[in-house]
A and B are shown apart, each in its own frame.
Chain A
């Protein structure tokens, strides 16, 4: 089983991260806003963090315990931010 991360894989992850980041800013520039859009941005942020942790930090090569610390942290933070946004009164 091949587990060693390659330069090519790192580059693909970088392109994906750039794409996801650019997409968010372009959507804001196009006037997208609101709760649904904010939730989408949070999901994209979670995916980007998972990519960085697994591929750049190499956690995909490590026992699940070490990945779970990041995943649980991410889940709790994103969930709390999402709850705060859901509870925010709509002022538009």
Chain B
């Protein structure tokens, strides 16, 4: 989302001109001073409301997981041993790299480098699809090994949260594909980047969720 110029609206706050006038000289040059903080986040506010709501939903799952673990520590410790942290790490690398590329795409678009933005978006999509393959393999492997939602509290929450996040990644990849198509069509540019910024913000939300989900489910013992 970095570097966006705000598209339809420049949201930096202009301080009153009177603050910049020299009282001793009526013809003094008026120099606009900008508060460098934007009034609103990059992208559409409705998407941000959606992002905050999604984070709230995921937080309920995280806290439920932690308190369920408190009630059944043996089940959760033995359940964690059935997971492969390296698969989780691979997915972390894939998501973080994809997020970095999405941010780079927004920056490139805002700088008028649409071909660079497009390239970054397609590679970000590739990494997102990579995440889906690894996660799909992991969940499939778990079911094949005989674990399912009925096995115990750990596997219920692990499979439920993992699948729910998986669906968000599917949606995110879909959004990135649409953004890439629109960038290729020339729909976005330095003066119009709100849609691209909104889509990228959603993709970063998926990253943020994984940053808690991964250590909580795979690593914390």
When distances are taken between beta carbons in the complex, the residues of chain A under 8 Å from B204 are: 52-53, 56-57
Chain B 185-220 against A: per-residue CB contact (8 Å), 1 yes, 0 no? 000000000000100110010011001101110111
Q: How far is the CB of A82 from chain B (nearest CB, A)?
A: 8
Q: Indicate which residue in A18, A52, A66, A85 contacts B93 across the interface (CB closer than 8 Å).
A: A18
Which of these binds chain A: B35-43, B130-138, B163-171? B35-43
Q: Indicate if B149 sits at the interface (CB-CB under 8 A).
A: no
Q: Indicate if B162 sits at the interface (CB-CB under 8 A).
A: no
Q: How far is the CB of B200 from chain A (nearest CB, A)?
A: 8
Q: How far is the CB of B47 from chain A (nearest CB, A)?
A: 11
Q: Indicate if B143 sits at the interface (CB-CB under 8 A).
A: no
| Interface residue tally for chain B (C-beta within 8 Å) | 55
**CA distance in complex: A63, B99 (Å):** 23
Which of these binds chain A: B19-27, B84-92, B153-161, B176-184? B84-92
Contact B221 A10 (CB under 8 A): no
Contact A18 B96 (CB under 8 A): yes
The chain A residue sitting closest to B111, CB to CB, is A7
| Interface residue tally for chain A (C-beta within 8 Å) | 55
When distances are taken between beta carbons in the complex, the residues of chain B under 8 Å from A22 are: 89
The chain B residue sitting closest to A77, CB to CB, is B59
When distances are taken between beta carbons in the complex, the residues of chain A under 8 Å from B86 are: 25
Q: How far is the CB of A67 from chain B (nearest CB, A)?
A: 9
Q: How far is the CB of B40 from chain A (nearest CB, A)?
A: 7
Q: How far is the CB of A14 from chain B (nearest CB, A)?
A: 4
Q: A4-B2, A6-B3, A24-B219 are in contact. List 13 more A-B contacts (CB 8 A).
A: A13-B100, A24-B215, A38-B221, A53-B204, A53-B208, A56-B200, A56-B207, A61-B42, A62-B38, A70-B55, A77-B212, A81-B63, A85-B70
26 A-B Cβ contacts within 8 A? A1-B36, A4-B3, A5-B2, A10-B104, A18-B96, A21-B92, A25-B88, A28-B218, A28-B219, A28-B221, A34-B221, A37-B221, A38-B220, A41-B219, A52-B207, A52-B211, A56-B102, A56-B103, A56-B200, A57-B1, A80-B63, A84-B67, A85-B70, A87-B70, A88-B73, A91-B74
Q: B residues engaging A (CB < 8 A)?
A: 1-4, 36-42, 48, 52, 55-56, 59, 62-63, 66-67, 69-70, 73-74, 77, 85-86, 88-89, 92-93, 96-97, 99-100, 102-104, 107-108, 197, 200-201, 204, 207-208, 211-212, 214-216, 218-221
4 A-B pairs with least C-beta separation: A5-B2, A84-B66, A58-B1, A14-B100
